[in-house]
C-alpha cells in the first residue's frame, strides 16, 4: 500500500475521483501490524474500485488530529472529500469486508 503524507492528503484523498481508504497507523502499534496484511489483500482484490493508502500518525500529525483520529488503527473511507466510513481497531478480513460493503 502506498503512503500518504499531510502535504499530499488533500490532492490524493480529498480530491480523488474514486473512494479512498486511509489506514491511520504507527510503527509501534501491534493491532496496526495485524490489520496491514489484510488491507494489502483487499488492495490486491479491490484496488480498481477504491484507492488504498496508509498514513503514519507519528510522521503526519496534522491530518489525523483534524479528523479526530484518537485510536489506531483507524480506517477512514473518503468519498467526495468527506468521511463516509470510519472503522476503529483491528478487525478480521470478513468483518472489514462487511463494513466496506457497497464501497468495494
Burial category of 92 from C-beta neighbours within 10 Å (exposed 0-12, middle 13-18, buried 19 and up): exposed
Q: Which segments of the chain have a pLDDT < 50?
A: none
Residue 35 falls in the annotated catalytic set: no
Q: What is the DSSP letter of 12?
A: I
Phi, psi of 46 (to 5 degrees): -130, 15
Catalytic site includes residue 18: no
Tell me the C-alpha distance between 59 and 78, whole Å.
21
Catalytic residue among 29, 35, 57, 72: 29
Name the CA radius of gyration of the chain, rounded.
12
pLDDT at position 104: 84
What is the predicted pLDDT for the residue at 57? Answer: 98
Q: What is the pLDDT of residue 26?
A: 98
Q: Which of 21, 32, 53, 69 is catalytic?
A: 32
Using the structure block, give the residue that is written with the C-alpha cell 490486491. 44
Amino acid at each position: 500500500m502506498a503512503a500518504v503524507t499531510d502535504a499530499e492528503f488533500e490532492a490524493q484523498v480529498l480530491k480523488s475521483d474514486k473512494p479512498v481508504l486511509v489506514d491511520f497507523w504507527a510503527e509501534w502499534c501491534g493491532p496496526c501490524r495485524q490489520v496491514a496484511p489484510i488491507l494489502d489483500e483487499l488492495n490486491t482484490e479491490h484496488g480498481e474500485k477504491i484507492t488504498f493508502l496508509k498514513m503514519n500518525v507519528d510522521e503526519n500529525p496534522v491530518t489525523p488530529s483534524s479528523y479526530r483520529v484518537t485510536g489506531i488503527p483507524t480506517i477512514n473511507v473518503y468519498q467526495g472529500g468527506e468521511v463516509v466510513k470510519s472503522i476503529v481497531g483491528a478487525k478480521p478480513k470478513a468483518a472489514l469486508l462487511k463494513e466496506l460493503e457497497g464501497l468495494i
